[in-house]
Amino acid sequence: MLFAKINPVAEIPEMESPFQYDVKTADYLTAVASPYRLGSTEVNFSLIYGTATFDADGKMETFTRLLGGSITLTSPDIEEWGIDDSVILGTICEKVGTEAVEFIEGDPKNFNPF
């Protein structure tokens, strides 16, 4: 699965009481086409924002989901997709207001995109 390290990070306020909240940050984003039909002119993506941990070799060990969302991209956005998923993930980042500063291939043991 491909993940984008994003900047700026997503900020998620979490209410502790009516008068106090904590802000969690999600510095990674991934997306899953749901569903993708070959030749479609419109594709809906489920977005998953979260944090990751890495082992000593830089391999992603875990991904903790903090926020979900969705976005629909149309022909102009998906026509350059091809087989390189970083192209579409970069486009998604732009559309939601952040930038992909790095792409990381990962298979975290606890990750379930659905």
Q: Is residue 6 part of a domain?
A: yes
Q: What is the pLDDT along the chain (114 residues), one digit of tens a residue?
A: 999 999 999 999 999 999 999 999 999 999 999 887 887 889 999 999 999 999 999 999 999 999 999 999 998 888 888 889 999 999 999 999 999 999 999 999 877 776
Cβ(34)–Cβ(58) under 8 Å? no
Q: Is residue 37 part of a domain?
A: yes
Per-residue pLDDT tens digits for 67-97: 999 999 998 888 888 889 999 999 999 999 9
Q: Is residue 114 part of a domain?
A: no
Cβ(9)–Cβ(25) under 8 Å? yes
Rounded Cα–Cα distance for residues 80 and 87 (Å): 7
Split into its structural domains, the chain has a count of 1
Tokens describing residue 28 = 């990674």
Cβ(60)–Cβ(49) under 8 Å? no
Q: Is residue 71 part of a domain?
A: yes
Nearest to 106 by CA among 70, 66, 62, 64: 62
Prediction pTM value: 0.90
Q: Is residue 65 part of a domain?
A: yes
Q: What is the mean pLDDT of the chain?
A: 92
Q: Is residue 79 part of a domain?
A: yes
What domain range includes position 40? 2-105
